[in-house]
């Protein structure tokens, strides 16, 4: 099993501008790499760590056992406000999102996230939920599967793959990751199969996003993060595919601009709710890319709250 390496580790924590006595939220605890760096900068402050994966929390607790100023929250980050309010916290100084799937989730074969291992179709980050990849593949209608593959995977051959999935499951349910990979490969033309990269990547991404309703959860969590952050506080988001980054860009843009109809001679005195700390996305360095292959698609955006 490969070690979980946090992407854009120093850049993200530096961007948070951690105050020693502040209150911070790591929305995606994962292996605990970012959390550890935040905790090193805290004195009397506190860090709240969200993860819907109990295994991730157990691994992070091993790593962070020496810190007492940390609270673990076993919940989807879209429950941010509810979970923080239940702990009598109504404002925080910084919030970090490190999206995507942790390395150890990919590397545990029985979790069914990876097309590189033969495993039961699962892909649930929260093992207590009922919906799994098996249900999506074997119970969704043709139109539902097509929509998932096209919208969440941006898969050019979504129609072919959806058709083949329905044909195969008529004979018997598609039970494993390798069975699904076989269906995907049989749906693609030879010229695509010869291209660099795994032919199942986009389909697996799409099904994973559907199973964990990742994009809706992200939209809700970003809106709540903007409400929860206090003026002067920062939100840092690391994304790993274009759909996530598009959502962040759109939401941050809407809160960082004052919309005035063209041609009206109005003097702008109002300040937007957010300011963009980086106008362009921050990307991993060449050194990080060489050390960590999973950093290749990473992009980071940072905003600071100006006022309520």
* Residue-wise pLDDT tens digits, 113-125: 889 999 999 999 8
Average pLDDT over residues 214-223: 96
pLDDT score for 1: 40
Q: Rounded CA gap, 211 and 140, in Å?
A: 12
Beta bridge partners of 94: 24, 234
pLDDT tens string 159-212: 999 999 999 999 999 999 999 999 999 999 998 888 878 999 999 999 999 999
Q: What domains lie within the chain, and their CATH numbers?
A: 9-104+214-305 (3.40.50.150), 127-211 (1.10.150.170)
Q: Rounded CA gap, 76 and 59, in Å?
A: 17
pLDDT tens string 96-153: 999 977 766 677 778 888 899 999 999 998 888 999 999 999 999 999 999 999 999 9
Q: Which residue has the tokens 């790499």?
A: 33
pLDDT score for 296: 84
pLDDT score for 264: 61
pLDDT score for 246: 95
In sequence order, what are the residues at sequence separation of 6 or more whose Cβ sits closer than 8 angstroms to the Cβ of residue 80?
25, 27, 50, 221, 224, 225, 228
Residue 76: name the closest of 153, 32, 128 by CA.
128
Structure tokens at 28: 């995606």
Q: 225: pLDDT confidence band, cut at 50, 70 and 90?
A: very high
Average pLDDT over residues 238-245: 93
Q: 270: pLDDT confidence band, cut at 50, 70 and 90?
A: confident
pLDDT score for 2: 45
Q: 293: pLDDT confidence band, cut at 50, 70 and 90?
A: confident
Instruction: Kindly report each contact of residues 216-222 with a partner whose C-beta sits within 8 Å and lies 24 or more positions away, as own/partner.
Output: 216/78, 217/76, 217/77, 217/78, 218/78, 218/97, 218/99, 218/244, 218/247, 218/248, 219/247, 219/251, 220/78, 221/27, 221/77, 221/78, 221/80, 221/97, 222/97, 222/247, 222/248, 222/251, 222/252
Average pLDDT over residues 53-77: 94
Average pLDDT over residues 245-251: 96
pLDDT score for 12: 94
Whether the predicted pLDDT of 267 surpasses 70: no
Range in 32-46, 218-232, 288-302 with the lowest mean pLDDT: 288-302
pLDDT score for 170: 96
pLDDT tens string 2-59: 455 688 899 999 999 999 999 999 999 988 999 999 999 999 999 999 999 898 899 9
């Amino acid at each position: 099993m490969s070690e979980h390496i946090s992407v854009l580790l120093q850049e993200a924590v530096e961007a948070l501008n951690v105050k020693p006595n502040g209150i911070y939220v790591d929305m995606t605890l994962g292996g605990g790499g970012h959390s550890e760096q935040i905790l090193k900068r805290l004195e009397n402050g506190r860090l709240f760590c969200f993860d819907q994966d109990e295994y991730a929390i157990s691994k992070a607790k091993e790593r962070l056992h020496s810190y007492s100023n940390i609270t673990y929250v076993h919940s989807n980050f879209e429950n941010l406000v509810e979970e923080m309010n239940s702990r009598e916290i109504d404002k925080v100084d910084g919030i970090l999102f490190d999206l995507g799937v942790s390395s150890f989730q990919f590397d545990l074969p029985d979790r069914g996230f990876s097309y590189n291992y033969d495993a039961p179709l699962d892909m649930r980050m929260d093992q207590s939920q009922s919906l799994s990849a098996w249900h999506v593949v074997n119970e969704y209608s043709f139109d539902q599967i097509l929509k998932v593959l096209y919208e969440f995977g941006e898969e050019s051959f979504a129609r072919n793959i959806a058709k083949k999935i329905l044909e195969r499951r008529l004979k018997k349910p598609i039970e494993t990751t390798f069975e699904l990979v076989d269906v995907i490969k049989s749906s693609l033309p030879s010229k695509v199969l010869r291209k660099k990269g795994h032919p199942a990547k986009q389909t697996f991404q799409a099904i994973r996003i559907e199973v964990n309703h990742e994009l809706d959860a992200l939209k809700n969590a970003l809106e709540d993060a903007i409400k929860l952050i206090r003026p002067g506080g920062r939100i840092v988001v690391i994304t790993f595919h274009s759909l996530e980054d598009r959502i962040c860009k759109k939401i941050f843009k809407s809160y960082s601009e004052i919309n005035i109809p063209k041609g009206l001679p109005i003097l702008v005195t109002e300040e937007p709710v957010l300011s963009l700390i980086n106008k362009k996305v921050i990307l991993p360095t060449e050194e990080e890319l060489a050390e960590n292959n999973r950093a290749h698609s990473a992009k980071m955006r940072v905003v600071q709250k100006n006022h309520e």
